[in-house]
């Protein structure tokens, strides 16, 4: 327990205003920022009539990252990137961010500079203006909250709730094992989402932050209590999931379904858009999807999409072709309730 102190006295000592002035100096500005860092509020020229998207995420040392393992720069990058991933999940375009920090007092300035470097890196890469924030120091761990504003595309925001029975389910990349390091460098699929939505008309979408099974579950619930049948062989498994499985003893597929922080997108398409995409499938099952190279980005765009299954009326999650043939029901405990054939499937959720 630490004793609370008056907010105003806490950081004046370490030069809050000098720190903010330094952050302000090193923050680029763009024409859409009418008022940036330095006043009581920021002001943006809004690209009317697009709807405004707003999202926020809080990252806490000890829970979401360890400062021994992640540099402040990585944390800054990740903190903006996880918000970018939420904008991607609505097929939106990011515009501006504000960041609130609670800095560990002893290393406040060094950490603030590192965080800012990482945020600027992500901001530049994805065309975001950093327009304000709040800076505090205390005797506790590092806490960083980023709020990101974006704008919806011309077709409006893509919701979780638009999936329909018969829609095909896709993901933008291989899943599982992000804990081995990828979780610190999420690749928000902003450009991919915009391009896919423009070409195909996405019916529902979510970013995979809690694991495919759980996040797809949100689409199913929000879409009115639907179910999904997944083709076990079609779920793209990241090499990291294979590596993780050697230490955990769990199947790589299990990691692909449940590991969080992949930050790929899971989305649904109606036919004929889905059929058009699937027709171009390569021998390995991946679907080529080309985006122009973005020279600002240090990440490869998603080069392939994967059609992993379909939406059905009966609630629940069924995996077909599990370990070479069986169909199994997936629930929170894993591959439970083995189903012996497709005929005796119990349509009620377990």
Which of the stretches 132-140, 202-210, 294-302, 306-314 binds ligand ADP when contact is defined by CB under 6 A? 132-140
**Residues 314-343, interacting with ligand ADP (CB under 6 A):** none
Distance CA 29, CA 35 (A): 9
Residue 325, Ramachandran bin (φ over 0: left; ψ between -120 and 50: alpha; else beta): left
**Residues 134-153, interacting with ligand ADP (CB under 6 A):** 134-135
By CB under 6 A, tell whether 101 contacts ligand ADP. Answer: yes
By CB under 5 A, tell whether 40 contacts Mg ion. Answer: yes
Q: Indicate which single residue of 20, 96, 128, 158 sits in contact with ligand ADP (rule: CB under 6 A).
A: 20
Bridge partners of 97, per DSSP, are: 130, 148
Distance CA 80, CA 68 (A): 20
Of the pair 99, 204, the CB lying nearest ligand ADP is at 99
Binding-site partner at residue 39 among ligand ADP, Mg ion, none, CB < 5 to 8 Å by type: ligand ADP
Which of the stretches 40-48, 127-135, 251-259, 292-300 binds Mg ion when contact is defined by CB under 5 A? 40-48
DSSP string, 230-244: EEGGGSPBPHHHHHH
> Phi/psi of residue 177, each to 5°?
75, 20
Of the pair 145, 301, the CB lying nearest Mg ion is at 145
Single out the residue of 195, 187, 196, 193 nearest to residue 206, CA to CA: 193
Binding-site partner at residue 20 among Mg ion, ligand ADP, none, CB < 5 to 8 Å by type: ligand ADP
Site size toward ligand ADP (CB under 6 A) is: 13
Give whole-number Cα distances, 20 to 41, 111, 131, 203, in Å. Answer: 14, 13, 12, 43
Q: Which residues bind ligand ADP (CB under 6 A)?
A: 20, 23, 37-40, 99, 101, 130, 132-135
């Amino acid at each position: 327990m630490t004793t609370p102190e008056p907010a105003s006295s806490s950081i004046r000592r370490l030069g809050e205003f000098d720190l903010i002035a330094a952050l302000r100096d090193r923050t680029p500005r763009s024409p859409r920022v009418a008022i940036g860092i330095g006043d009581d509020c920021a002001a943006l020229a809004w690209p009317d009539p697009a709807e405004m998207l707003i999202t926020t995420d809080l990252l806490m040392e000890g829970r979401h990252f360890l400062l021994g393992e992640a540099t402040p720069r990585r944390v800054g990058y990740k903190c903006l990137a996880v918000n970018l991933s939420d904008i991607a999940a609505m097929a939106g375009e990011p515009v501006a961010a504000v960041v609130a920090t609670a800095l560990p007092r002893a290393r406040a300035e060094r950490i603030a500079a590192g965080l800012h470097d990482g945020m600027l890196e992500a901001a530049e890469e994805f065309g975001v203006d950093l327009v304000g924030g709040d800076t505090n120091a205390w005797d506790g761990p590092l806490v960083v909250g980023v709020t990101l504003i974006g704008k919806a595309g011309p077709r409006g925001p893509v919701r979780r709730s638009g999936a329909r029975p018969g829609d095909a389910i896709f993901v933008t990349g291989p899943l599982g094992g992000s804990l081995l390091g990828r979780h610190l460098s999420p690749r928000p699929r902003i450009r991919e989402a915009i391009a896919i939505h423009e070409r195909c008309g996405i019916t529902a979408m979510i970013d995979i932050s809690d694991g495919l099974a759980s996040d797809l579950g949100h689409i199913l619930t929000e879409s009115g209590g639907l179910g999904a049948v997944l083709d076990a062989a079609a779920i793209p498994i990241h090499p990291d999931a294979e590596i993780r499985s050697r230490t955990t003893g769990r199947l790589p597929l299990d990691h692909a379904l449940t590991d969080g922080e992949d930050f790929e997108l899971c989305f649904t398409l109606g036919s004929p858009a889905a059929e058009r995409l699937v027709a171009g499938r390569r021998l390995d099952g991946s679907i080529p999807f080309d985006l122009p190279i973005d020279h600002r980005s240090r990440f490869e765009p998603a080069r392939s999409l994967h059609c992993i299954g379909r939406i059905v009326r009966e609630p629940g999650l069924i995996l077909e072709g599990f370990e070479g043939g069986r169909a199994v029901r997936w629930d929170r405990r894993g591959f439970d309730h083995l189903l012996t054939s497709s005929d005796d499937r119990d349509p009620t959720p377990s």
